[in-house]
A and B are shown apart, each in its own frame.
Chain A
Amino acid sequence: MTVMRDTVVKSLAKITVQGDENGLIPEYEVLVNLLPVKLLNTFSERIMAAAPPEMKAKVEEGLVRAAYECGYHTGCGIITSDIFNDVVLPMVTEGEKDILRGAYAAFTAWGWAKSGIVQLKEGEKMIIRAYDYYEADSGGEGLRGFMLRGLSQAFFDLAYAEPYPDGMDTYVCHQTKGIEVGDPYGEFIVTKK
């Protein structure tokens, strides 16, 4: 048996989070927040629009970096969590490959991106397609999948780089297609840095 995506999505999608008595959401070894998508997209677009041409790459890099570090640290918490152990690990028969399949099922279940792996060469390259992701609605010009770029890089690092927390920045992710520019899906390619 390998990871059955639909089963994982259905199980994980039932989970909702909200603040505890302190107004905090301590989960997956981090503090989780739940924010309006509009806030995140508007900030990205406003800060990109304000940046002069020579600064846009730096701002874009900052947005990807925020998603990357969030994904790397939270991702480690997710794949070692009780819920991941209960739902995904019993189906894992192909090691890191199945862990990654489970991770993209989690991305889908939690509304980050309806996404999955279409090509995987272990430790070398991964191609992701996403048929829905919230940044596609951001309204900006050009490719805008900063969050999924960061998350994809993070999870490939977690799967194939040095064990956490020493494997950061081993791989890099580029977006090659985007719903936001008229393509039928977003495409993201992870390779060695």
Chain B
Amino acid sequence: MALKLDFTMDAETNRQYLNGHPVVMHSHHYLALITKMAGELGDIDGVGILCDVVEETMRAVFDDYIQKNGLTSAQDRCNVGREYFSVFGLGKMVITGDEHGGEVRLVRSHLDEGWVMKWGNSSGPVNHFTRGYVAAMFGAAFNKPLKSYTVTEASSIAAGDAEGKFIIKAS
């Protein structure tokens, strides 16, 4: 399945849309700093907020695409998230698993590679953004409610591993 991409622009405001959803460009500096800030705000669970927001907002994008295109198989539904990930410039992922859980390998990663470009290697996994993203992707694939999956980052490009690895378990 190749994701259908419909880029449009509002002629009055110049705001950009992808498949009907407003989108905007930023750089790795922005996402790296937002991620770092979330990590530093432990008192208010900044990392949890980031993961939840990514899961909720990406899930809406995936569900909308799945519904409009009448996708029924788990593989096709999962591919929506995988292909969007690359279209958004977030990297390239390889997915295995079923409704009980699975594994996502990050072959390339905007956030991890951007983090290394900005600050060098991190002392541990930092890709909380993709944890939320993967939870949304599995939820959409298997038609489960939000927060149905727990995602942990087992390997990290930012921390020096060759690939990122995310372990998904049904909550």
Interface residues of A (CB under 8 A from B): 9, 13, 16-19, 22-25, 28, 30-40, 42-43, 46-47, 50-52, 55, 59, 62-63, 65-67, 69-70, 73-74, 108-112, 114, 132, 134
A34 in contact with B89 (CB, 8 Å): yes
With beta carbons under 8 angstroms apart, the residue of B9, B46, B61 that contacts A36 is B61
> Which residues does chain A contribute within 8 Å of B16, judged by CB atoms?
16, 110-111
Total interface residues on B, CB under 8 Å, equals: 56
Interface presence of B144 (CB below 8 A):
no
Best-buried of A16, A34, A63, A67 by chain B (most CB within 10 Å): A34
Residue of B nearest to A74 (CB): B27
Interface presence of B163 (CB below 8 A):
no
State in angstroms the CA–CA spacing of A24 and B13 once bound together: 27
B38 in contact with A32 (CB, 8 Å): no
> Which residues does chain A contribute within 8 Å of B23, judged by CB atoms?
34-37
State in angstroms the CA–CA spacing of A34 and B87 once bound together: 8
Would you give the 0/1 interface string for B89-126, flagging 1 where the beta carbon is closer than 8 Å to chain A?
A: 11111000000000000011010011001000000000
B29 in contact with A34 (CB, 8 Å): no
A19 in contact with B90 (CB, 8 Å): yes
State in angstroms the CA–CA spacing of A13 and B46 once bound together: 35
State in angstroms the CA–CA spacing of A67 and B10 once bound together: 23
**Minimal beta-carbon separation of A9 from chain B (angstroms):** 7
A32 in contact with B49 (CB, 8 Å): no
Known: A39-B54, A43-B50, A50-B41. 7 other contacts (CB 8 A): A16-B7, A18-B5, A19-B86, A28-B27, A36-B61, A42-B56, A132-B14
